Amino acid sequence: MTEIVEQPDQPASKSQISQTLTTRSPILGREDWWAIWIGLGLVIVAVGLFATGSTISWIAVAPQKWSHLPEVRAQLGAHWQQYAALFVLWGVLFGIGASALGIRFAHFIPSFLCVYVAALVLYFVGQWSQASHYNLEPPLLALALGLVVANAAALPRRAQAAFRVEFYVKTGIVLLGAGLPMTLIAWAGPVAIVQAAIVSLVTFFVIYWSARFFGLDQRLAAVLGTGGAVCGVSGSIAVAGAVGARKQDVSIAISVVVLWAIVMIFLLPLVSRGLGLSTGVAGAWIGTSEFADAAGLAAAQAYGGYAGTVHGIAGSADAAVNAFTLMKVIGRDLWIGIWAFVLSIVATTRWEATGVHTRAGAGEIWRRFPKFVLGFLVASLLVTLVTHGVSYAAYKHSVQPGLVAPLQVLRTWAFTFAFLAIGLTTRVRDFSSVGAKPFYAFTIGVVVNVVLGFLLSTQVFSGFWSRLG
Amino acid sequence: MSGSEPVRRGAAGHATRGNCKGCRHHEGVPESLEAQLPGIRTLSSAYGAVCAADGLCTLHARYVPAHASCGSFEPLPR
């Protein structure tokens, strides 16, 4: 029998060291941290300039309302330097981040130029006075355009270098923190956590037991369950790693979650509009029943766009995105590490062994914590402190136009890049064959989730979410 | 078990000679993961913090954390 020796981890080889420095460094090699550096960096610069009587509004340029094409030409003629500067700003920031992740800067920039120009066109379309009449909400349009391009043309790999949905959406969420006062997070956070916890637990167990009823493996059942209950594909892969799921389990979860998430991007705003839900209530429902941050933000931002343009939709445009973010980020995303930790304990102590030995440890909670949420909270805290004691009149007169509004414009740009990238990376031929049983199990969970989320958002907590805006 | 690599104890008490992070069967580079898991980029990313240091075990066809281990450990080429 061989003597067994306890010793620290094996010393890293040269290839390991290289891998660790370039792609595994917890700070340099993870897009969550780069989203924080970029998002929080912009917030700090904005706050610094505001404190000295200046503003970032020159570079935070955005198309204005227009009715006739000559007005678009006039806007571009008057502001082309600002649009060019904004491209340079985003290109450099995201390009540096992408380089640190291992994506070549020389590949990223041309690809990002295409994303930026498409986003500019979509932004202008969204500002057309007849856009809402023709249902041309920029998030949905971006998604649809991306889907058509991705599935009609075979883009070379280097042309796809800037199609980074999560990088953009995490940066946008950090920027969004600047527009959400900490007092609002403290007020609404507990309700969001309660509502999300109810729906997450019910959805997980419905999918898990449905999958088991259909005879599926425990690990696949758990991976599907967290995909529906917590944070979509990210939830599935986090738990897949924690429990040591099969590769095909991950592929199945990706396919079925993406399929339903994209259906929900169109379905939830459509049903909410048909029912005349206020923007806050609809945002809460979307936050409870969408499966991924980027998909949910597309739906919430599209619905927010109905405020003031579609008859019968009460609330402000921001209320939909704010309610969604509170529900999804605070209520669901934040807890993925705990889900992974608990399920890793269950996997190692109760489930059939796999031949690969994993161990459960509380460190799992921090290792899988979605770090970008920290940037969101710090951005909120920073702007809350800066605006502390400012009267409502002063806020509307100086803080809103000089600090908050420009950051909201930058956030909208980041989200538009993300919505385009969702479509551009959704290639039907890439998705694995799901099989009927995983699809049925997940779909049962979707139905329960949507109904329960609707009841909680529109009945139980309706008054609360309506007051958001 | 034999070989020059020192042996250590896996989580379940099995004799192994290192964890997945140091194994040649462990594919943990995000770019490769995204190539092997098509569709992951659509609503997530292999570069996200939730992935920790997970990777694909090309021997067992499983998605495993870096600290996992098994009896088929083979060190990375030096």
Q: What residues contact residue A194 under an 8 Å CB cut-off, 6+ apart?
A: none
Q: Which residues of chain A make contact with B57, given a CB cutoff of 8 A?
A: 356
pLDDT (0 to 100) of residue A21: 39
CB contact under 8 A, B63 and A19: no
Distance between CA atoms of B5 and A13, rounded to whole angstroms?
13
Residue ranges for chain A with pLDDT beneath 50: 1-23
Q: Do A4 and B5 touch (CB under 8 A)?
A: no
Among B9, B41, B64, beta carbon nearest to A358: B64
Q: Is B63's CB within 8 Å of A250's CB? A: yes
d(CA A276, CA A279): 9
User: A82 exposed, middle or buried (CB, 10 Å; 0-12, 13-18, 19+)?
Assistant: middle
Q: Cα separation of A180 and A188, whole Å?
A: 11
Is A9 close to B21, i.e. CB distance below 8 A?
yes
Residues B43/B48/B49/B53 CA torsion (nearest 10 deg):
120
How confident is the model at residue A153, as a pLDDT? 86
List, in order, residues 6 or more apart from A75 with CB less than 8 Å away.
A63, A64, A66, A124
Of A56-70, A218-232, B1-15, B25-39, give the lowest mean pLDDT range.
Answer: B1-15
Contacts of B42 in chain A (CB under 8 A): 165, 233, 254, 258, 422, 425-426
The verdict on A151 touching B (C-beta cutoff 8 Å) is: no
* Tokens 């049962």 belong to residue: A444
Measured in angstroms, the CA of B36 and the nearest CA of chain A are apart by 9
User: At a CB cut-off of 8 Å and minimum separation 6, what does A364 contact?
Assistant: A242, A337, A340, A341, A344, B52
CB < 8 Å from B in window 106-135 of A: none
ipTM of this predicted structure: 0.88
Name the class of domain A27-466.
Answer: mainly alpha
Query: Is A294 close to B43, i.e. CB distance below 8 A?
Result: yes
Domain limits, chain A: 27-466
Work out the pLDDT band at B17, boundaries 50, 70, 90.
low
The answer for A 17-76 residues in CB contact with B (under 8 A) is 19, 23-24, 29-33
Q: Which amino acid is at A453?
A: G
Give the pLDDT score at A9: 38
